[in-house]
Copies of this chain bind each other. A is one copy, B any other.
Amino acid sequence: MKMGVPGKTVSVGIIGLGCRGFDQTKLLASMPDVSIRVVCDQYADRVEKTLEMLNEVSGGKAPAQGCTNAREVMERSDIEAVIIMTGWETHIDLAVQAMRAGKTPAMEVGGASSVEECFRLIAASRETGKDCMLLENCCYNEEEMTLLHMIREGVFGEVVHCQGGYEHDLRDEIGNGDINRHYRQRHFKNRNGELYPTHELGPIARYLDINYGNRMVSLVSMASKAAGLHEWLAENRADDPRLVQAHINEGDVVTTMIKCARGETILLTHDCTLPRPYSRGGRIQGTKAIWMEDNRSIHVAGKTPQKEEDWSHSWEPDRKYMEEYRTDLWKEYLDFGKRGGHGGMDYLVLRAFIEALQNGTHLPIDVYDAAAWMSVTALSEQSIALGSMPVAVPDFTDGQWLDRKDEAEGPYKLGR
């Protein structure tokens, strides 16, 4: 591969121009082989601001037009892809519309509102022959890719248990007064579940070959009381009675246990309304090693040096392994120079999509991955609503997971 050498031009439309949409649009605009033809948001001021940015970036040569109705994007004949960066609850519906309009959609991350919605996504893909990518940037983060590489190289032995979380103090953001435009706030007020699983579940799904020889079979979720956001709002938004008096439904800490067909367990934590440093709470345990994100350490049986002061087995910093097992993609990326947000992974996940379109290859995170990962949100809400009953995770592949091979190609390929 030749990172940074433009491929054939891909023409795209973009829907959703909030904070995330604006930033990713700017990043796409920096790619010489991406032509942004149309940008869309229900709020006209966002469209205007984005068009201004695009004109600035292109020196006035941007071909992009603006609109406030997604239907206009779908009807364009000059785009092959639609990138969806709206609020969580419209991702699947817009992706279905895009496929039916003959485009290949890519969706920003978020959870599903129902399991049926996930099946609808797959049905649209099968009927139209179009695939759909979930833009799970964390799958392309350096650590997660290195860990996947280490697992494939056998460092962990047989992997038995994985943990991850979206552990991010968002009280300040959720307590923002702009209710209409705030995609997360109304979810926290009204829902109770694992609202945002894919940042950790996406990489874990690859560690465990989910959809490629393995699948999630059942899950159980439990929510703590919701105390953190209310207390914070009373102290920090005292001037806004709508917020101070708001009922918050989402438990501060929502824990989800998932059982896989091959017997592995996955533990997910959603933790966004209590004070805390950010963490994706990663942990990988196999018969030969354990890795943990919160202390950035690893213990490899028989290899990690035993410290004299430890009466138990010792940890060692994971840095040596992170360097030894760095992927070819990340080696080249570091030479090329990281760009875009979130430590560089935002750029890679967009390139993964664009280059698959350029090469006509299978999307590296496809419609089955999207359905399985996103369904965890709806299923966790069901489990909590039923008093932490176990609920079955559907097989979205109709049994194909048993011996499904990942048809993606090249350095962005993640599956087996």
- Residues of A with Cβ closer than 8 Å to B? 157-158, 160-161, 168-169, 218, 220, 222-225, 227-228, 231-232, 251-253, 255, 257, 259, 262-265, 267, 271, 274-278, 285-290, 292, 294-295, 299-301, 310-315, 387-390
Q: Which of B218, B276, B389 contacts A390 (CB 8 A)?
A: B389
Task: Check B313 against A278 for contact (C-beta < 8 Å).
Answer: yes
Task: Check A286 against B263 for contact (C-beta < 8 Å).
Answer: no
Report B-chain residues with C-beta under 8 Å of the C-beta of A288.
275
Task: Check B218 against A387 for contact (C-beta < 8 Å).
Answer: yes
Report B-chain residues with C-beta under 8 Å of the C-beta of A262.
225
Given contacts A257-B220, A390-B387, contact A276 B313 (CB under 8 A): yes
Task: Check B160 against A274 for contact (C-beta < 8 Å).
Answer: yes
> With A and B bound together, what is the CA distance between A271 and B287 in angstroms?
12
Report B-chain residues with C-beta under 8 Å of the C-beta of A222.
220, 257, 259, 265
Report B-chain residues with C-beta under 8 Å of the C-beta of A294.
292, 294-295
Task: Check A285 against B271 for contact (C-beta < 8 Å).
Answer: yes
> With A and B bound together, what is the CA distance between A315 and B310 in angstroms?
24
Task: Check A276 against B285 for contact (C-beta < 8 Å).
Answer: yes
A-B contact pairs, 15 of them (CB 8 A): A157-B231, A160-B227, A160-B253, A169-B313, A220-B257, A220-B388, A220-B390, A222-B257, A253-B285, A257-B257, A257-B388, A274-B287, A275-B287, A277-B314, A388-B390
> With A and B bound together, what is the CA distance between A176 and B274 in angstroms?
45
Q: Which of B168, B253, B285, B315 contacts A312 (CB 8 A)?
A: B168
Residue of B whose beta carbon sits closest to that of A230: B287
Known pairs A253-B285, A277-B313; list 8 more (Cβ under 8 Å).
A169-B312, A218-B388, A231-B287, A253-B265, A274-B286, A277-B315, A294-B294, A294-B295
Task: Check A278 against B224 for contact (C-beta < 8 Å).
Answer: no
Task: Check B274 against A231 for contact (C-beta < 8 Å).
Answer: no
Task: Check B263 against A231 for contact (C-beta < 8 Å).
Answer: no
Q: Chain B's nearest CB lies how many Å from the CB of A105?
A: 30
Task: Check B265 against A223 for contact (C-beta < 8 Å).
Answer: yes
Task: Check B313 against A224 for contact (C-beta < 8 Å).
Answer: no
Residue of B whose beta carbon sits closest to that of A254: B265
Q: Which of B265, B295, B300 contacts A295 (CB 8 A)?
A: B295
Q: Chain B's nearest CB lies how many Å from the CB of A147?
A: 16
> With A and B bound together, what is the CA distance between A224 and B271 in angstroms?
23
Task: Check B286 against A267 for contact (C-beta < 8 Å).
Answer: no
Q: Which of B227, B311, B388 contacts A259 (CB 8 A)?
A: B388
> With A and B bound together, what is the CA distance between A253 and B160 in angstroms?
8
Task: Check B223 against A220 for contact (C-beta < 8 Å).
Answer: no
Residue of B whose beta carbon sits closest to that of A252: B160
Given contacts A220-B257, A252-B161, contact A228 B275 (CB under 8 A): no
Given contacts A252-B161, A255-B267, contact A275 B313 (CB under 8 A): yes
Task: Check B299 against A275 for contact (C-beta < 8 Å).
Answer: yes
> With A and B bound together, what is the CA distance between A274 and B315 in angstroms?
14
Task: Check B275 against A301 for contact (C-beta < 8 Å).
Answer: yes
Instruction: Specify which of A158, A161, A255, A311 lies most central, judged by the most chain B CB atoms within 10 Å of its CB.
Output: A161
Task: Check B287 against A158 for contact (C-beta < 8 Å).
Answer: no
